[in-house]
Chains A and B, each alone.
Chain A
Amino acid sequence: MSAPAIEVRGLTKSFGALHVAQLIDLSLARGARAALIGPNGAGKTTFVNLLTGVLVADAGAISLDGARVDRLSPAARVRRGLVRTHQINTLLRETSARENVALAIAERDGCAWRMLAYRRVWAACLEEADARLADLGFGASADDAAGSLPYGLQRLLEIAIAISLKPRVLLLDEPAAGVPSGEAHAIHTAIDRLPKETAVLMIEHDMDMVFRFAQEIVVLVQGRVLMRGAPAEIAANAEVRTVYLGRSRP
């Protein structure tokens, strides 16, 4: 037996009369590949913020591998394995790409409190960071300050950092948004090669990407789950087509 990687029950949040999340249920098994779609203002970002703890839900439960996390701070949830990437880059811009990744590794291993381990521990973090970046095809850019990287590489670095945290559950927030098509290939490859055991929820507008990636799609409209199902079911559903797909897929 094993509990779902993440289980959400009855997640609810209102800002005054505005119900941004209404009794949302979601369950992802280990290794799941799911996508969350919905029109603008459907509450996708709110949902992500509730999961990561940036917003506190009015009601509902969030469990990782069967353990409740909804009372934990955002950073503590990350340490439990709930990791997200950001739509807008939030990299340490003055720091090199490899050190951006190495910092995540240091936090993951809990060695970021080590003050007097001068080179050894940090060198180990850097070494793993190099391996991770080489995997993703970073090449010589690993030494460049994150802020000076081309946009596509910044997004790739964002993914590299997330993977380095060895998440149980990974929330990918529009991973390829704004990336020029010439640089998008590397990001698609990185997404295809995400660790098998990680449950991934992609929040995405690009339907081609969603249908390529997801085994299950959840449609969110006005803070509610309108429908969930396999990509084929979602594509065939008339209601979904009206509220959402109709606009992007004539």
Chain B
Amino acid sequence: MPTIDLVAFIALIAFIGLLAFLLYGGIVMGHQLRLRPIRAVQALPDLVESATETGSPIQINLGSGAISGTQSLAGLSSMAILASLAPSVGVSSQLPVVTTGDGVSALLAQSVLHQAHQQYEQIERAPSPNNTQFTGATPTAYAVGAALLTEKNHPQVSLHVGQLGTEAMWLSVADERQNVRNLMATTATQAAEIPLLASENALFPEEVFALPAYLHPEPEKRQALQNSLVAQDIARWVVVGTILLGSLALTLQSFF
């Protein structure tokens, strides 16, 4: 095994151990965390309420992140967010309409909605296949299909959360034309600035992965997710420290 693989393997095992300790040990110890407030997340209940009042469906655009491809974790993050949002957005008289640009994500999203319906009494209606729409296989085709769906359904609120590239601008244009209030967040680094330009409620790429820790309806599960953010922060400091030490070592090496 090459040395770098061995180092990566040891680092991964250490991280899994730390995360497992914080997930399970943290819950046992009952540590309460105070999360940094995110403006877009704070605006979410108001968005959901406005949709519930008018009885219009909320459109959730999960982007074109494929679960089975290189963007699998972005796709999985979309599912985690949908699972966290489903109980609150499913209480309006109409269930949310979820769009994806990937076949596996479409099936999983349908499964997440069914699961939420079975688990939470407040969701009275069972989801139909029309609640999850695959709108296109390429990012542009996906965005145009989702934008057309916005024009057809006239939702009061749209949530664009997932692997969205520059094509997210099309979704924003459709929202603007229909006076739809929105929240936008993408995991794509090449389009990190788009949410800032296109939505009043914007999130940075990394915050997308943290959303379930803010939104999950079950307190115990939410606490577990928040503990995983602590593990992530510890790992971040270790990586930052390693980068700084490495830079220092290289600088000193050039002198001697």
A and B from one assembly? no
